[in-house]
Chain A
Amino acid sequence: QQQVKQSPQSLIVQKGGISIINCAYENTAFDYFPWYQQFPGKGPALLIAIRPDVSEKKEGRFTISFNKSAKQFSLHIMDSQPGDSATYFCAASTGNQGGKLIFGQGTELSVKP
């Protein structure tokens, strides 16, 4: 019940296209859903995050869509660029577990020029 399942494992998108990464969870106590971006050999960095009281959050070319009833959330990258090529992790947490994040398995995104 603590798992977060992420798909696809890898994704290839043409420059200018839309990249979509999906995550699903079981624990209805999760109340915070961040996405992290990781470049090779580096630590992850927070990209965007959402709470379940909203269905969508947009920051520049990055949008999180959240479906509480389906227990799913997704990251959309509009106008994908080669510089977006990285590994993306979704995560989830509850507010009462000392800041513990449960991460998905990761998606390796490659944007072709």
Chain B
Amino acid sequence: DGGITQSPKYLFRKEGQNVTLSCEQNLNHDAMYWYRQDPGQGLRLIYYSQIVNDFQKGDIAEGYSVSREKKESFPLTVTSAQKNPTAFYLCASTLGGTARNTQYFGPGTRLTVL
């Protein structure tokens, strides 16, 4: 099965902890994206990467970090600097890194801060 996998599905974090969300794709897509979804606010872009070893900040990058060491993997770390991290996090990928190619989304990770 080709697609995007995200793990874990649910994640609980204590105040002051860093946590890493996994995103893997076997679609051979060049570009990968991380979005945050909050009720009534749509999807907001955190970081994106068009090629391996390169990534750019999105609209709400503060308190987050990413790496892109392999084409198929784009993990997101939510650091303790992110003051309100409780949200639904979605990873996406697209072929060629242009918006005219369909973005395929993973099933998401729901992060809750205790």
Q: Are A95 and B99 in contact, CB atoms less than 8 angstroms apart? A: yes
A-B contact pairs, 24 of them (CB 8 A): A32-B100, A36-B105, A42-B108, A43-B4, A43-B92, A43-B105, A44-B43, A44-B90, A45-B105, A49-B102, A89-B42, A93-B99, A95-B99, A95-B100, A98-B50, A99-B48, A99-B50, A99-B97, A99-B98, A99-B103, A100-B48, A101-B45, A103-B43, A105-B42
Q: Are B100 and A100 in contact (CB under 8 A)?
A: no
Cβ–Cβ contact A98 & B43, under 8 A: no
Chain A residue nearest to B41 in the complex (CB) = A105
Do B42 and A101 have beta carbons less than 8 Å apart? no
Task: List A residues at the B interface (Cβ < 8 Å).
Answer: 6, 9, 32, 34, 36, 41-46, 49, 51, 89, 93-95, 97-101, 103-106
Chain B interface extent, by class? 20 to 34
Which residues of B pack against A, CB within 8 Å?
Answer: 4, 31, 33, 35, 40-45, 48, 50, 56, 58, 90, 92, 94, 96-108
Closest chain-B Cβ to A29's Cβ sits at a distance in Å of 12
Q: How far is the CB of A52 from chain B (nearest CB, A)?
A: 12
